[in-house]
Chain A
Amino acid sequence: QLQLQESGPGLVKPSETLSLTCTASGGSFSSGTYYWGWIRQPPGKGLEWIGSMYYSGDTYYNPSLKSRVTISVDTSKNQFSLKLSSVTAADTAVYYCARHSMVGANFDHWGQGTLVTVSS
């Protein structure tokens, strides 16, 4: 059974870069059958898709975040990562990694989420 786990600093200073890693167990990023994405949820608010990637390295980003986001994969470690630059308080959120289908982009497996607070 696939399990996803986010990890990274819970506190990031304004203007710095937020970096998170998602580690998969019970499954492989290299399977080629799925995309792997990041979604965030500010406290008390709704979900926002950040971006997704294929194991080959092809990436797709939310246009509103594209200039600040980088998603990458390390298949040897079965991990994929999120970097969000020039963060502000508005980037404070629970960040989830998740797997989604190639067709239709439905997210069928989610990590538990990790809260990242942007504050000095």
Chain B
Amino acid sequence: QSALTQPPSASGSPGQSVTISCTGTSNDVGRYNYVSWYQQHPGKAPKLMIYEVTKRPSGVPDRFSGSKSGNTASLTVSDLQAEDEADYYCSSYAGTIQVVFGGGTKLTVL
């Protein structure tokens, strides 16, 4: 069970869009439509932003969207705002109640 691969950093200017990738294998991301994305501000607990690849929990702005192609999932943040600056983590179900997280991406709003 290896960690999912995310770029360490991403950035964009206010109003722009940015996409963060999350690459796994055919045993996790590629096999199940159970990819989640979490936002974590410094010193805070992670917050669920996307689940089951594309679904948003109540209260999450529709500026956040998810997608998947093969073994790679993506999180897109549109119309970037200052408060979007945070660390983002993906996770995937990996079978029989096994979960694997990505290494995290630091999103900077320029």
- Interface pair B89/A47, CB less than 8 Å apart: yes
- Are B96 and A104 in contact, with the CB atoms below 8 A? no
Q: How many residues of A contact B (CB 8 A)?
A: 26
A39 to B100, CA, bound (A): 11
Of the candidate stretches A16-24, A58-66, A72-80, A84-92, the one touching chain B is A58-66
CA gap between A73 and B19 in the complex, in Å: 39
User: A49 — which chain B residues lie within 8 A by C-beta?
Assistant: 91, 98-101
Tally of contacts, chain A with chain B, CB under 8 A:
70
CB of A105 closer than 8 Å to a CB of B = yes
| Interface bracket on B | 20 to 34
Residues of B within 8 A of A103 (CB): 34
Q: Which residues of B contact A107 (CB under 8 A)?
A: 36, 38, 46, 48, 91
Q: Are A46 and B103 in contact (CB under 8 A)?
A: yes
Residue from A35, A46, A47, A104 in contact with B34 in the complex, judged by beta carbons closer than 8 Å: A104
**A positions within 8 Å CB-CB of B:** 35, 37, 39, 45-49, 52, 60, 62-64, 96, 100-101, 103-108, 110-113
Q: Which residues of B are in contact with A by a Cβ distance under 8 Å?
A: 1, 3, 32-34, 36, 38, 45-48, 51-52, 57, 89, 91, 93, 96-104
Q: List 28 A-B contacts (CB under 8 A).
A: A37-B99, A46-B89, A46-B103, A47-B38, A47-B89, A47-B104, A49-B98, A52-B99, A60-B97, A63-B1, A64-B1, A96-B45, A96-B46, A104-B32, A105-B34, A105-B36, A105-B93, A105-B97, A105-B99, A106-B36, A106-B52, A107-B36, A107-B38, A107-B46, A108-B48, A110-B45, A110-B47, A113-B45
